[in-house]
Amino acid sequence: MAYLDHAATTPMRPEALDAYVEAARHLGNASSLHRAGREARRMVEEARESLGEALGAKPSEIVFTGSGTEANNLAVKGLHWARRTAERDHVVSTAFEHHAVSDVVHWLADHESARTTEIGVTDEGHLLADDLTRLLDEEGETVTVVSTMMANNEVGTVQDLGPVVAAAERHGVPVHADAIQAVGHLPVDFAATGLTALTLSGHKLGGPTGTGALLIKKATPVTALLHGGGQERDIRSSTLDVAGIRALTKAVETATAELEAEARRLTALRDQLIARVREAVPEAVLNGDPDRRLPGNAHLSFPGCEGDALLMLLDAAGVECATGSACSAGVAQPSHVLLAMGRSEDTARSSLRFSLGWSTTQEDVDALLAALPDAVKRARSAGLT
């Protein structure tokens, strides 16, 4: 199979798998005081230091979680709850967040009567920073947290978060960035961003599923979601997954060490893929910013096709891709990301995401182009019946 769905999940890097197996052979709970426990704790703290070095964060600013979704929940709910008052109960996000953020915001509105605002985006997927600045200038004292993406998981557009952070800082509002698609693919320096919080996920960059982390600026009040043993400075109680933490960290280390060369390689493959798709299917339309996008993301609409039908035809031909976020796969509704960008429902339903990663080869791209013309022809024919 040609696997072109790395934005959903990516194979574990050999270095991360080796780190996982090595740590998993060790007996010990990192909260225990005996020798085995102390050795497990040492592995966790060494990983914390290494992860901080790779991402420009202090070790004390890193909270390990069980997934990117949990990290996003902890960031948005935790910051909101810690700062909420009768007068300050307003959560600000954007119209095209991943469901791990947007559903959290909607839950706060539905279950806790939080005020919420979704900032709009341009037709290329950039948030309307002027709209956000205006809102903060008018209502900044009511806002508990601003949450936005560093890079969009569907169309791949990379955000300029500088204006967001600057506008929020003037009003003392914390900013959280969902960087799950960015870490390991773009340069990330937490201290340099000025962000209050940043989230990442292991399986998006060659680490194991079930691992993630929240980077949160030191001394920032945050309310815990989980209560129990008081691990991770009482921010995230749970027995620490030593093997997962070691493997996550090794994946980040490897990805960041190879980032510049790998970004060049993937960008060249991505641009070739886009050009060849447009040559084979001239009506295909690229979604997202054509230049400021993730190195491995190619998101295209195929007029006259149902994306789901096209996906299954490609799958039968040995090419695996996606119609959008894997977290909403199987849901019969157009992408909220594309609708937020002003696309019609028909266009949104006709779109596919091809996402490349560390294991992608030229042969994978060639396999897609060999299968695509016939799949598009058959999908269009099916749509006419």
What CATH number does residue 158 fall under?
Answer: 3.40.640.10
Mean per-residue pLDDT, 41-65: 98
On whether the CB atoms of residues 125 and 288 are closer than 8 A, the answer is yes
Sign of the torsion angle spanned by Cα atoms 88, 89, 92, 97: positive
Residues 252 and 272 placed together within one structural domain of the fold: no
Mean per-residue pLDDT, 142-170: 97
Token pair listed for 248:
């996550």
Residues 251 and 282 placed together within one structural domain of the fold: no
- Looking at the predicted structure, is the pLDDT value of residue 329 above 80? no
- Looking at the predicted structure, is the pLDDT value of residue 132 above 90? yes
Query: Residue 250: its pLDDT value, please?
Result: 98
Sign of the torsion angle spanned by Cα atoms 354, 4, 104, 219: negative
Write out pLDDT tens, residues 272-292.
Answer: 999 999 999 999 999 999 999
Nearest to 176 by CA among 148, 213, 200: 148
The total number of structural domains that make up the chain: 2
Mean per-residue pLDDT, 300-319: 97
On whether the CB atoms of residues 347 and 26 are closer than 8 A, the answer is no
CATH number at residue 330: 3.90.1150.10
On whether the CB atoms of residues 310 and 352 are closer than 8 A, the answer is yes
Mean per-residue pLDDT, 157-172: 97
Residues 253 and 269 placed together within one structural domain of the fold: no
The CA distance from 99 to 343, in Å, is 19
Nearest to 200 by CA among 184, 179, 231: 179
Residues 156 and 29 placed together within one structural domain of the fold: yes
CB atoms within 10 A of CB 210: 15
Task: State residue 18 phi and psi, 5-degree precision.
Answer: -60, -40
297-301 and 351-355 as β-strands: parallel, antiparallel, unpaired? antiparallel
> Annotated catalytic residue: which of 1, 257, 268, 327?
327
177 alpha-carbon distance from chain centroid: 9
Residues 337 and 364 placed together within one structural domain of the fold: yes
Alpha carbons within 13 A on the beta-carbon side of 162: 2
Query: Residue 33: its pLDDT value, please?
Result: 95
- State the DSSP code for 151: B
Query: Residue 331: its pLDDT value, please?
Result: 56
Computed over every residue of the chain, the mean pLDDT equals 96
CB atoms within 10 A of CB 369: 17
321 assigned to active site: no
Nearest to 356 by CA among 289, 272, 298: 298
Sign of the torsion angle spanned by Cα atoms 14, 18, 19, 24: positive
Query: Residue 328: its pLDDT value, please?
Result: 52
Query: Residue 327: its pLDDT value, please?
Result: 53
On whether the CB atoms of residues 305 and 383 are closer than 8 A, the answer is yes
Q: Which domain holds residue 325?
A: 2-9+259-384
The string of DSSP codes covering 277-318 is HHHHSTT-EE-S-SSSB-TTEEEEE-TT--HHHHHHHHHHTT
Residues 174 and 30 placed together within one structural domain of the fold: yes
Nearest to 349 by CA among 316, 312, 301, 382: 301
Helices (H), the chain: 14-24, 35-55, 68-83, 99-112, 129-139, 162-169, 190-193, 242-257, 259-280, 307-316, 336-340, 345-349, 362-384
| pLDDT tier for residue 385 given thresholds of 50, 70 and 90 | very low
Residues 151 and 179 placed together within one structural domain of the fold: yes
Query: Residue 80: its pLDDT value, please?
Result: 98
Residues 303 and 276 placed together within one structural domain of the fold: yes
Residues 296 and 159 placed together within one structural domain of the fold: no
Residues 152 and 43 placed together within one structural domain of the fold: yes
Query: Residue 324: its pLDDT value, please?
Result: 72
Residues 130 and 218 placed together within one structural domain of the fold: yes
Token pair listed for 208:
């194991």
| pLDDT tier for residue 326 given thresholds of 50, 70 and 90 | low
SS3 219: coil
